[in-house]
């Protein structure tokens, strides 16, 4: 039972919903920017779980991990956006189906 009376399970359900939304978006959308945002959504869903559980279990580990995830997300955003920018410069498009150079 949390302070505001919101039960833990609600947080977890919300996180699961957010994660599913993110995953579904990642799989279904074709715009790389959108996919990128979906990734962020998933990360934050996980963060929410961490924070909620940390609070629930009165342990600081979850919070630390959440910070980790945020730092990684920031770094990832920087690199990821740079890559997207380069892709756009080269192909004048951000459609994921057109970027398949990894195959070979």
Partner 1 sequence: MQLWLIPAFPLLGFLLNGIFGRRASKAFVNAVAVGAVLASFMWTLKTLGALWPLDEAHLERYFTWIQAGDVRIGFDLAVDRLSAVMLLVVTGVGLLIHIYSIGYMAHEGGYYRFFAYLNLFMFFMLTLVLAANFLLLFVGWEGVGLCSYLLIGFWFLKSSATNAANKAFIVNRVGDFGFSLGIYLIYTHFRSLDFGEVFDAVSRLPVEAGVGTLTAIGLLLLVGATGKSAQIPLYVWLPDAMEGPTPVSALIHAATMVTAGVYMVARCSVVYLHAPLAMEAVALIGLATAFFAATIGLTQFDIKKVFAYSTISQLGYMFLGAGVGAFGAAIYHLWTHAFFKALLFLGAGSVIHALGEQDLRRMGGLRAKTPITFWTLLAAALSISGVPLTAGFFSKDEILLAAYHHAPWMYWAGTLTAGLTAFYVFRAIFLAFFGAPRGWSYAHESPPVMTVPLVLLALLSLAGGFAPVSRWLAPMFPAGEGRHETLPVAISVAAGLAGIVVALLFYVARPGLADRVAARLGALYRLVYNKYFVDEIYQAAILRPVITGSENMLWRTVDVAWIDGAVNGIATRARAAGDVLRRIQSGDLRSYAAWVLLGSLALLLAIGLAGGGR
For residue 96, the minimal CB distance to partner 1 (Å) is: 5
Determine, following the binding rule CB under 8 A, whether residue 99 of this chain makes contact with partner 1: yes
Q: Are 60 and 52 in contact (CB under 8 A)?
A: no
Determine, following the binding rule CB under 8 A, whether residue 55 of this chain makes contact with partner 1: no
Using CB under 8 A as the binding rule, the residues of this chain from 8 to 37 that contact partner 1 are 23, 26-28, 30, 35
For residue 57, the minimal CB distance to partner 1 (Å) is: 15
The single-letter DSSP state of residue 98 is G
Angle at 38 between CA 30 and CA 48, to 5 degrees: 170
Enumerate the H helices of the chain as residue ranges: 8-28, 32-57, 61-91
Binding site for partner 1 (CB under 8 A): 23, 26-28, 30, 35, 96-97, 99-104
């Amino acid at each position: 039972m949390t302070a505001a009376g919101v039960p833990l399970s609600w947080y977890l359900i919300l996180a699961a919903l957010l994660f599913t939304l993110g995953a579904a978006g990642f799989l279904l959308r074709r715009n790389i920017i959108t996919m990128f945002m979906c990734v962020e959504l998933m990360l934050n869903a996980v963060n929410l779980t961490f924070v909620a559980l940390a609070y629930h279990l009165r342990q600081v580990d979850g919070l630390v991990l959440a910070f980790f995830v945020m730092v990684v997300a920031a770094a990832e955003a920087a690199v990821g956006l740079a890559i997207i920018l380069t892709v756009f410069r080269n192909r004048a498009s951000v459609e994921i189906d057109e970027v398949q150079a990894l195959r070979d």
